[in-house]
């Protein structure tokens, strides 16, 4: 059977099994096993050797030790309610502006993203905290749902991000080390946050009914009180961000060591907030174990899928197709479109594990900077949390927000924010310095 036919059948089988609702890790591994046997003449020992040799690196990869540590940090911060005090302060400080509460949600989500790195935690927390308040204050439901869902997804991009750790462990390239990826993701993450805030401010400025300011009676705090509320609620999470990111960017600690520092810092913050109980610690540890097991299972499934796909010549088929275009940016656009479409149906980790080993060598042949290309993929993958029918943020929000938000409100509300993410990708292509500037400052990359 030709590589072209096997490539089409392999991807077709994968998509069908995912649509049928089978677990992603099992689906990836089962598809790889089936087509690996077809390709090598049903030589089972040879296929098992292929799987073992290519997955051994996953279990000896020191960088991946940071995955459970970052997840534990996120779980502790989520359970200790660090973000609630910051939202309460910004509720007073920004609430008097048109769209001020929406801006407060985006600011808190941005800070929360930099301390957790887990989208589910950010979206659920903001849905519980801000969802009822935005309704009570007369915000248009679509806008409220859209800004909570979209700003909550920043946790997958703004470091420390599990996605960036996984990406760094996949490529093995110096240009896409975890440290470089963390530095490269800071400005794109802030760019997205800024685009969201600009959109909310403009829409509510033009039509105050979409996001009215809070009543004057609720703005009784003095400037000094507002200042102290903001400082006391902002300094603890910002200090933790500075400790984690600063130690990596300054070259003091590896990502794994910084993750351990972050986990310790999260426990210290929980102690100061008097929420460090045995129940909290044990719950965080159990959730960490479950999430880590899920990530590693996906890692193994994705690895065996990509290994079989490449060994049977699928990578060459895709490479010849994309390198056949006279304009390399057309090939780039096709790769971005494929990732965007896959994001409507497949989890980000599976997309990353399947596409990165295939697309990265092609990007290098097209003379694209691997770090710049990596960040385009990561920003693109953020849309997978918002795009129906399987946008996880939409389900997180619907499950945690008040029942007054219909699924139609949610779908209608996220459309402009998906457009803003597409605009961000265009800006990153036109102005690559947004990605490359900080890595060049910190690492000379």
Q: In the structure, what pLDDT confidence band is assigned to residue 117 with cuts at 50, 70 and 90? A: low
pLDDT at 196 over 90: yes
Pair of tokens at residue 168: 């760094």
Question: Distances from the Cα of 45 to the Cαs of 42, 184, 300, 301, in angstroms?
Answer: 9, 42, 18, 18
Is the pTM for the entire model greater than 0.85? no
Q: Collect contacts of 224-228 with beta carbons under 8 A, ≥24 apart.
A: 226/89, 226/92, 226/93
Q: For the ranges 103-107, 143-147, 280-284, 308-312, which has the lowest average pLDDT?
A: 308-312
- Per-residue pLDDT of 149-162, as tens digits, reads 999 889 888 888 88
Report the C-alpha gap between 282 and 133 in whole angstroms: 31
Q: In the structure, what pLDDT confidence band is assigned to residue 417 with cuts at 50, 70 and 90? A: very high
Average per-residue pLDDT for the chain: 84
Pair of tokens at residue 30: 């089962």
- Per-residue pLDDT of 3-13, as tens digits, reads 788 888 888 88
Question: Distances from the Cα of 420 to the Cαs of 71, 87, 279, 339, 394, in angstroms?
Answer: 28, 24, 40, 17, 17
Pair of tokens at residue 367: 């003379």
Supply the DSSP string of 209-239, one letter for each residue: GGSPPPPGGG----HHHHHHHHHHHHHHHHH
How many of the other CB atoms lie within 10 Å of CB of 324?
9
Which pLDDT score, from 0 to 100, does residue 379 have? 94
Which pLDDT score, from 0 to 100, does residue 17 have? 83
CB 413 within 8 A of CB 141: yes
Report the C-alpha gap between 44 and 4 in whole angstroms: 23
Q: How many CA atoms lie within 13 A of 26 on its CB side?
A: 6
Which pLDDT score, from 0 to 100, does residue 372 have? 96
Question: Distances from the Cα of 43 to the Cαs of 34, 36, 214, 287, in angstroms?
Answer: 11, 9, 69, 39
Query: Which segment, 102-116, 138-152, 225-239, 339-353, is predicted with the most confidence on average?
Result: 138-152
Given the structure tokens 């479109």, which residue do they identify? 337
Write the DSSP symbol of residue 252.
S
Given the structure tokens 């093995």, which residue do they identify? 172
Mean pLDDT value of segment 342-363: 84
Burial of 62 (0-12, 13-18, 19+ CB in 10 A): exposed
């Amino acid at each position: 059977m030709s590589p072209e036919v096997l490539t089409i059948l392999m991807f077709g089988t994968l998509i069908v099994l995912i649509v049928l609702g089978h677990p992603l890790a099992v689906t990836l591994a089962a598809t790889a096993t089936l087509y690996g046997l077809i390709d090598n003449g049903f030589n089972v020992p040879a296929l098992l050797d292929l799987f073992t040799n290519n997955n051994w690196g996953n279990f000896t990869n020191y960088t991946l030790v940071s995955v459970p540590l970052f997840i534990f940090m996120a779980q502790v911060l989520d359970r200790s309610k660090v973000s609630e005090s910051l939202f309460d302060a910004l509720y007073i400080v920004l609430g008097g502006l048109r769209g001020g509460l929406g801006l407060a949600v985006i600011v808190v989500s941005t800070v929360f993203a930099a301390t957790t790195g887990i989208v589910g935690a950010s979206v659920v927390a903001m849905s519980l905290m801000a969802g009822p308040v935005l309704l009570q204050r007369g915000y248009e439901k679509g806008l409220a749902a859209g800004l909570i869902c979209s700003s909550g997804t920043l946790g997958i991009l703004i470091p420390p991000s599990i996605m960036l750790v996984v990406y760094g462990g996949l490529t093995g390239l110096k240009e896409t080390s975890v440290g470089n990826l963390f530095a490269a993701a800071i400005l794109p993450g802030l760019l997205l946050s800024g685009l969201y805030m600009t959109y909310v401010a403009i829409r509510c400025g033009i039509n105050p009914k979409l996001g009215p300011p809070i009543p004057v009676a609720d703005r009784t705090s003095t400037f000094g009180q507002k200042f102290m509320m903001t400082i006391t609620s902002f300094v603890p999470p910002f200090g933790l961000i500075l400790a984690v990111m600063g130690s990596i960017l300054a070259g003091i600690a590896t990502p794994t060591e910084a993750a351990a520092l972050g986990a310790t810092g999260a426990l210290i913050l929980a102690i100061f907030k008097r929420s460090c109980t045995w129940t909290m610690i044990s719950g965080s540890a159990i959730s960490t174990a479950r999430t880590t097991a899920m990530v590693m299972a996906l890692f193994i499934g994705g690895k065996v899928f990509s290994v079989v796909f490449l060994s049977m010549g699928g990578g060459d088929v895709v490479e010849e197709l994309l390198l056949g275009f006279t304009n390399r940016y057309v090939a780039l656009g096709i790769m971005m479109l494929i990732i965007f479409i896959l994001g409507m149906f497949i989890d980000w980790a599976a997309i990353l594990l399947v596409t990165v080993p295939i697309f990265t060598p092609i990007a290098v042949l097209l003379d694209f900077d691997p770090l710049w290309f990596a960040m385009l993929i990561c920003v693109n993958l953020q849309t997978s949390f918002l795009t129906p029918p399987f946008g996880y943020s939409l389900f997180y929000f619907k499950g945690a927000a008040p029942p007054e938000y219909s699924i139609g409100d949610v779908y209608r509300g996220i459309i402009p924010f998906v457009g803003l993410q597409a605009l961000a990708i265009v800006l990153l292509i036109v102005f690559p310095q947004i990605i490359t500037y900080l890595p060049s400052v910190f690492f000379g990359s």
